[in-house]
Chains A and B, each alone.
Chain A
Amino acid sequence: QSALTQPASVSGSPGQSITISCTGTSSDVGGYNYVSWYQQHPGKAPKLMIYDVSNRPSGVSNRFSGSKSANTASLTISGLQAEDEADYYCSSYIFSSTRFGTGTKVTVL
């Protein structure tokens, strides 16, 4: 089962905006609006940041936003902060299954 494709790393300076892409196919990302994004700090469990493409769970900063175009979903972090440095994973529903992305390491310069 192939993972969704994410860039290995993205970096930005404090205050800047960065975008992480998550590329799949018409069978997963492009076929359903069930794309989620997770933040994972070292040694910690992942934390849900975005669900159903663009919805934020209660308590997640509005600096995090999600979108989708065709087979590619995106996570944008605006006003980058030091605490945003972490690994980020996307996931998507694919019929009777769930698929994670390859993961992106975000570095705050």
Chain B
Amino acid sequence: QLQLQETGPGLVKPSETLSLTCTVSGGSISSSSYYWGWIRQPPGKGLDWIGSIYFSGSTYYNPSLKSRVTTSVDTSKNQFSLKLSSVTAADTAVYYCARHDTYGGDLGGFGYWGQGTLVTVSS
């Protein structure tokens, strides 16, 4: 059974960079059928897609966050990572990593999710 687990600091100071890693177990991150994504959910609000990465390093980003987002993949560790720079209180959210289908580069549904990790931006 595929499992995803987010790890990283739960508290980040304003203007600093948020960094999270997602470790995949029970399957290979190098599968050609999937992209690996990040989604966040501010407290009491809806889901917001941040970006997704392929095992080759190909990326898609939410246009509204693109200037602050960097994602990377480490196939040797079966992990992928998120960096969000210049954070503010508005970036406080539960951050999820997830796997989604891809059809020749088009993005399908997120079939597997991590449990999520709350990141609070505060001084």
Residues of A within 8 A of B113 (CB): 45-47
Q: Is the CB of A38 within 8 A of B110?
A: yes
Q: Is the CB of A57 within 8 A of B111?
A: yes
Given known A-B contacts A34-B108, A46-B113, A98 and B49 have beta carbons under 8 A apart:
yes
Within the complex, the shortest CB–CB distance from B64 to chain A, in Å, comes to 5
Shortest Cβ distance from A55 into B: residue: B109
Q: Specify which of B60, B61, B110 lies most central, judged by the most chain A CB atoms within 10 Å of its CB.
A: B110
Kindly state the separation between the CA atoms of A89 and B109 in the bound complex, as whole angstroms.
12
Residues of B within 8 A of A3 (CB): 46
Q: Is the CB of B111 within 8 A of A45?
A: no
Residues of B within 8 A of A52 (CB): 108-109
- Count CB-based A-B contacts (< 8 Å): 68
Q: Is the CB of A51 within 8 A of B111?
A: yes
What range describes how many residues of A lie at the interface? 20 to 34
Kindly state the separation between the CA atoms of A34 and B107 in the bound complex, as whole angstroms.
7
Residues of A within 8 A of B39 (CB): 100
State the interface size on chain B (CB cutoff 8 A).
26
Q: Is the CB of B63 within 8 A of A1?
A: yes
Residues of B within 8 A of A38 (CB): 47, 110
The yes or no answer to A24 lying at the interface (CB within 8 A) is no
Shortest Cβ distance from B47 into A: residue: A100
Question: 10 smallest A-B Cβ distances: which pairs?
Answer: A36-B109, A51-B109, A45-B113, A103-B46, A100-B47, A98-B49, A93-B107, A1-B64, A48-B111, A98-B107
26 contacts across the A-B interface (CB closer than 8 A): A3-B46, A34-B103, A34-B107, A36-B108, A36-B110, A38-B110, A45-B96, A45-B115, A48-B111, A50-B109, A51-B108, A91-B49, A91-B109, A91-B110, A93-B108, A96-B60, A97-B49, A98-B37, A98-B49, A98-B60, A98-B100, A99-B49, A100-B39, A100-B47, A103-B46, A103-B47
Partner-B contacts on A (CB < 8 A)? 1, 3, 32, 34, 36, 38, 45-48, 50-52, 57, 89, 91, 93, 96-103
